[in-house]
Amino acid sequence: MRSFRTLGIMVAALSLLAIAVPAAAESRIEKNLELQPGGRFTVDSEVGSVTVTGTSRPGAHIVITSDRIDLNAELEFTFTSVGGWASVTARRKHESDWSHNYSAHFEIEVPTETRTEVHTGGGSITLSGLHGDSDVKTSGGPIEVTGLTGNLEAHTSGGPIRLREVTGNAHVATSGGPIDVEALEGNLQAHTSGGGIRIDRVSGSVEAKSSGGPIRVTYSPGNHHGGDLETSGGSIEVAIDPSANLNLDASTSGGSVSSDVPVRVVGTVSRSRMQGSIGSGGEELRLHTSGGSIRIHAL
């Protein structure tokens, strides 16, 4: 009988505790700024994740939320709209309290035809459905860009980078994660210090360098551009149009080099190096790895 009475007391105590500690309320700021198609929008925040989406409506619609802090108490916001440019900035009000969790999320809608600059001191960045050059940078989180028509600069100090359906040249770099690219119409520079690189369907030249992972690149049909692929920690696989005209220089310190595409070899034939021309020759395709094999496939 005593055990049942004790259990009842415990259940009642837990129920009172649940009532006494309600779930944290969401803090929310909403703002509309003037911005016509063809303008520029910038985000400069010391904290938080950012999502920017292109829409058919004029104006910039900004919603900032947090379920951990009172946004107005902890952050100072500045909203600006002048001469085809709109922006939002966020700064910590208490500079000495770096241990505080300043979790926040920016959800932003702008006209599709908008140039964007997004810089955050800690959080993910997501862009989609935009026509205009974009410059994005985060000190701690992943970057994802989908449906961009324009040139892209994307840098993160700690996370993966993922691109989908980008029309324009792209320069992307991460200090701690993989890079994944699909359907890029333009030239690509991709650098990572801590992951592999996968590129599927690129129409321009490729510079891909990794300090710690394999590189896989599939060129689009009809692409006769070369590139420079180099890794210190994995294999390299490249798929090219068999009708491409390229000069090839492929070498490895830790494996072999092979090709399904006919190569007119120049110099001494070696298991670990292949130099020569594909088709009638053209732009250079350089492949080098210190920790794996190299394989060239035909599309």
Q: Please say if the pLDDT value at position 8 is more than 70.
A: no
- pLDDT above 90 covers what percent of the chain? 81
Q: 188: buried, middle or exposed (CB in 10 Å: 19+, 13-18, 0-12)?
A: buried
Quickly state the pLDDT bin for 21 (edges 50, 70, 90).
very low
* First CA to last CA distance, the chain: 77
Highest mean pLDDT among 18-22, 52-56, 65-69: 52-56
Residues 114-133, mean pLDDT to the nearest whole number: 97
Report the alpha-carbon distance of residue 299 to residue 293 in Å, rounded. 19
* pLDDT for position 254: 82
pLDDT tens digits for 226-250?
999 999 989 999 999 999 999 999 9
Residues 156-175, mean pLDDT to the nearest whole number: 97
Residues 209-213, mean pLDDT to the nearest whole number: 92
3-state secondary structure of 21: coil
Q: Please say if the pLDDT value at position 17 is more than 60.
A: no
* pLDDT for position 22: 45
User: Is the pTM for the entire model greater than 0.85?
Assistant: yes
DSSP class of 204: S
Residues in the chain: 299
**Domain spans in the chain, listed from the N-terminal domain onward:** 178-299
